[in-house]
A and B are shown apart, each in its own frame.
Chain A
Amino acid sequence: AIQMTQSPSSLSASVGDRVTITCRASQGIGNDLGWYQQRPTKAPELLIYAASSLQSGVPSRFSGSGSGTDFTLTISSLQPEDFATYYCLQNYNYPFTFGPGTKVDIK
């Protein structure tokens, strides 16, 4: 199975900060990677698909990049509603695997 790692596992940031989260796959997955935001007690919401495509309705401050094994989610200017946990997901092959998550909280 493809293992997904994320770094950092948590971070503290201020409103307006630029935030970068990294996801690494144990083998190449092309661009079959998505990024999700999850707020407490809510279902995950898709932010980025195919590594770099912005999901409809998602603010443009979110962006994704990467291919192969290394991927990045960037929030260009953190907003109050962005404090949440972020997960990557590889759907390159079965079993699909999520990263362990990155919790973003207020500094």
Chain B
Amino acid sequence: EVQLLESGGGLVQPGGSLRVSCAASGFTFSNYAMNWVRQAPGRGLDWVSTISASGGNTYYADSVKGRFTISRDNSKNTLYLQMSSLRAEDTAVYYCAIRIAAATFDYWGQGTLVTVSS
């Protein structure tokens, strides 16, 4: 069974940093690109970033480019999102998601809440 479990969310001050993680199981992690999607309170879904299976290619939304870094450790089956220079508008639930069998994100984690506030 595919499982994605996010962790690391919490309260951080504006300008601060935080790293969230996504532990994966139930599939061969190193074979698949991984993604982060976020949702601000009461708002819609926003794609944040994607990393290729090997980690050699990364893609970012303009809103986080230069501030967020996606990475992965295939030996630990874990995806990361390092967030720096955080702003109030980065407050959101952060989901990891993967395309396995379908042509789009077919498995999602339960999300981890990041709150940026003083």
Contact = CB atoms under 8 A, between A and B. Distances in A.
Interface of A: 1, 32-34, 36, 38, 43-46, 49-50, 53, 55-56, 87, 89, 91, 94-101
A94 B50 contact: yes
Contacts, number: 65
B69 to A, nearest CB: 16
Contacts of A91: 99, 103-105
28 contacts: A32-B103, A33-B104, A43-B108, A43-B109, A44-B105, A44-B108, A45-B108, A46-B102, A46-B106, A49-B103, A49-B104, A49-B106, A50-B104, A53-B103, A56-B101, A89-B47, A91-B103, A91-B105, A95-B47, A95-B59, A95-B60, A95-B61, A96-B47, A96-B50, A98-B44, A98-B45, A98-B47, A101-B44
